[in-house]
């Protein structure tokens, strides 16, 4: 299992490197595809992956991503309210075929998966975004790796016994510190290319520390959903890891945070 997980992880890093380096429309299309797969995994839990509520979610995600490429929405609330009206119309005109929680899941899935993952693309499009975007993965996957190593060696106090019995407080602290150190090292190596000052390198470390904390919430949130529906993984697409949501559960939370902090701290 470890070998399979390791090989899959290496392949994921290579794919991510290629897509993020390419950026632009290639990354936008890839982000939409990944979002569709993640939404499908989430919708499948509630049995709407091929039903009208799920289809309305896929349609809304497509419109949202099209709006990123061709800005045609005057206000983000137009999208939110338009989609809400659409999914409620589906609920009304198919009643009583679908339950309220299925309709809520269709609405929730678009924002939880598609919108939040889109911040990978949006971060890549920032000035120096080719470098800043990697902070998303440093404070999610980097935190996960550091937390695992520290937790295995020193972990004694359970962080969330009911959601994730193997996670420890010591591992969490190690993950946050590890992510901050990785960001500091990364910022030092690429300081000139990113156009940041030595002071801003500390800001980068702070961004990754905050992102690491948020990534744990994202990881545990995904675990909570799985516990509620008594499933081990969201899918089997990635050998040794599970589905898209199993691998991107922390990235979903860190991407928006890194984007907004980078906009206000690094690229004001």
Q: What pTM did the predictor assign? A: 0.92
Q: Which of 262, 129, 118, 138 is nearest to 212 (CA)?
A: 138
Local confidence band at 52 (pLDDT 50, 70, 90 cut-offs): very high
Q: According to the model, what pLDDT value does residue 195 have?
A: 76
Please give the share of the chain, as a percent, with pLDDT higher than 90: 51
Residue bearing the bigger pLDDT, 247 or 79: 79
150 Cβ neighbours under 8 A, 6+ residues apart: 170, 171, 173, 174, 175, 178
What confidence category does residue 221 fall into, taking pLDDT thresholds of 50, 70 and 90?
very high
Average pLDDT over residues 23-40: 96
pLDDT at 17 (0 to 100): 87
Looking at residue 34, what is its pLDDT? 96
d(CA 170, CA 182): 18
What band does 1 get if pLDDT is binned at 50, 70 and 90? low
Residue 261 binned pLDDT confidence (cut-offs 50, 70, 90)? confident
| Average confidence score pLDDT of the chain | 89
What is the structure's pLDDT at 77?
A: 93
pLDDT of residue 266: 63
Instruction: Give φ, ψ of 77 to 5 degrees.
Output: -65, -25
| Contact (Cβ atoms closer than 8 angstroms) between residue 113 and residue 41 | no
What integer is the mean pLDDT of 21-32? 95
Helix 76-93 to helix 100-109 angle (10° resolution) is 150
Q: 113 pLDDT band (50/70/90 cuts)?
A: very high
Q: Is 258 exposed, middle or buried (CB count within 10 Å of its CB: 0-12, 13-18, 19+)?
A: buried
pLDDT digits (tens, 9 = 90+) for 59-97: 999 999 999 999 888 888 999 999 999 999 999 999 999
Sequence-distant (≥ 6) Cβ neighbours of residue 47 within 8 angstroms: 102
**For 181-199, what is the mean pLDDT?**
85
Q: Does the pLDDT of residue 2 top 60, yes or no?
A: no
The position carrying tokens 């520390």 is 209
Helix and strand numbers, DSSP H then E, in the chain: 14, 2
C-alpha span between 91 and 69 (Å, rounded): 30
Cis ω before 92 (30° cut-off from 0): no
């Amino acid at each position: 299992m470890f070998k399979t997980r390791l090989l899959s992880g290496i392949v994921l890093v290579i794919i991510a490197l290629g897509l993020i380096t390419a950026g632009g429309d290639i990354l936008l299309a890839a982000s939409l595809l990944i979002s569709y797969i993640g939404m499908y995994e989430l919708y499948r839990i509630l049995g709407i992956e091929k039903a009208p509520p799920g289809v309305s979610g896929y349609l809304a995600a497509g419109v949202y991503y099209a709006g990123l490429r061709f800005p045609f929405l005057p206000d983000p609330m137009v999208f939110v309210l338009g989609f809400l009206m659409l999914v409620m119309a589906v609920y009304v005109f198919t009643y009583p075929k679908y339950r309220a929680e299925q309709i809520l899941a269709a609405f929730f899935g678009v924002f939880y998966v598609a919108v939040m993952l889109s911040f990978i693309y949006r971060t890549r499009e920032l000035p120096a975004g080719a470098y800043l975007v990697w902070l998303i993965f440093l404070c999610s996957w980097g935190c996960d790796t550091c937390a695992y190593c520290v937790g295995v060696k020193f972990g004694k106090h359970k962080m969330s016994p009911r959601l994730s019995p193997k996670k420890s407080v010591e591992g969490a602290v190690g993950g946050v510190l590890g992510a901050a150190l990785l960001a500091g090292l990364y910022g030092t190596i690429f300081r000139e290319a990113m156009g940041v000052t030595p002071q801003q390198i500390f800001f980068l470390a702070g961004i990754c520390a905050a992102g690491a904390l948020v990534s744990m919430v994202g990881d545990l949130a995904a675990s909570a959903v799985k516990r509620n529906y008594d499933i081990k993984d969201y899918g089997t697409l990635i050998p040794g890891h599970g589905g898209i949501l199993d691998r991107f559960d922390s990235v979903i939370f860190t991407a928006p945070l890194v984007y907004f902090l980078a906009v206000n701290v690094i690229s004001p």
